[in-house]
Amino acid sequence: MQTPSALQQNGYVLRHAGAEDIPFLRHLYAQTRSAELAASGWPQALRERFLADQFALQHTHYVRQFADAEFLVLLEETRAVGRLYLDRQGPDFLIIDIALLDEIHGRGLGSALIIHVQQTAARAGCGVRLHVDLRNEAAYRLYLRLGFRETGIEGAHRAMRWDTDVS
């Protein structure tokens, strides 16, 4: 997937993730779970070990389950700041995962990435599906603003869908 021009103009680039990105991806995963685990009362060393193990399990699952997907890293100049995992193999595009470092939230980057996925899907005559954690109200509101609708609850996640108007 090409970098959206709106992001490119501001110094952002999407590129395929490689083995060299694993430390960043592990850090990003840990950051997305930090608030949840802070309430656990676990010692820091135990939380870190748990997060490393959970990242490894998630990463292995994604790579095996979505072998033909695009695993992309978002760079701000040369610094990794986010990830977008996208599967275009089915009748709909599937946003497997999207995450940004906390420090860059609120800049419109997530919206720009999702809108770009929607535009790319529309050109292909496809819809877009995703799942959002039930506790992630901010992401849920973002997806609603971008035209997604909730299609059901699957475990701890809301299933959501965006349909193109292409005839």
Domain count within the chain: 1
In a domain, 167, yes or no: no
Q: What is the pLDDT of residue 166?
A: 45
* CA pair distance 12, 79, nearest whole angstrom: 9
pLDDT for res 167: 40
Task: Divide the 167 residues of the chain into consecutive groups of 10 and give the mean pLDDT of each group.
Answer: 79 94 96 85 90 95 96 95 95 96 92 94 96 93 97 95 77
Please report which residue ranges of 73-148 form alpha helices under DSSP H. Answer: 109-123, 137-145
Q: Say what the alpha-carbon torsion angle 16, 21, 27, 31 is, to the nearest 10 degrees.
A: -10
pLDDT of residue 5: 79
Do 36 and 29 contact (CB within 8 A), yes or no?
A: no
The enclosing domain of 59 has a CATH number of 3.40.630.30
Q: Is residue 92 part of a domain?
A: yes
Domain extent, residue 123, equals 5-162
Identify which of 160, 98, 149, 88 has the alpha carbon closest to the alpha carbon of residue 123: 88
